[in-house]
Structure 1
């Protein structure tokens, strides 16, 4: 297990690749289910590509974290703050895995082909659940969406608090181009 106080290049790369894809997906997918049918294949292709990238990164990152562990949190953080930090991280992972899973099931109920651009994966061909589940799955998908947004806000605000209020290295150790110590 790695006991350095910051994250390595691979950790930072996978974190920021996921972050960029998550933000793009959250912004660009808002209201996607309400689009007119002719526009959906194009939107599905981009959404599928971004989500597939997130899923791959999630799997790699979960395996990497399980093997490497996490750098220790600053000793200046209270036990409650450390528990909250861990809870937000784990809830974010769980919600992202759930969102991808529900999204794949949802895509398998669509009438339009849901083909992830660049990956050429047709999620609508998986036929995982009955088409009658579409509305229920869409409701879950939207609920998880807002839960992810809330968790990301907490995550970002906490990182900024650490940097500007606590003046510790919690934010800096995940920034690209900072040295590992």
Structure 2
């Protein structure tokens, strides 16, 4: 079935109008004052009108660090920083799979620190706590095979503001090392 040039032109104009309206709605919904956020309520999936703002409405003011310490027969060792972000290399602009692990740990720490600040009673049953605990248990078993257990802490620092003292936002209880095979 062939379309007449007039009908073909009408279809082209309709497609261009729909795509143009979607482009304008996407651009307007990125406004930092959130005046046009009502447009996004038309798209419940977030696929047609995505939220691509480049800057957070509330910028991050602090850094979070995950620390842990193995505990053995002689007592607890010194705290060791686990979530150290290494300096970037030129290759990492193209290939950087380690960033996924760093991002996951940071997101878990943020969630756990948020829940801790809210005073949740069953904090040790949250998925973020259990994931961090199990990951650190594995890490401790690799690095300190003779450790009886471990403890971890989330510390908040001022980032580039060196005048703000570090504060502990979460401290885990002593976690026992599980026997192999359980």
- What is the TM-score of this pair, normalised by structure 1? 0.25
Higher share of residues assigned strand: 2
- In terms of Rg, which structure is larger? 2
Q: Which has the higher contact order (CA 8 A, sep 6+)?
A: 1
More helix by share: 1
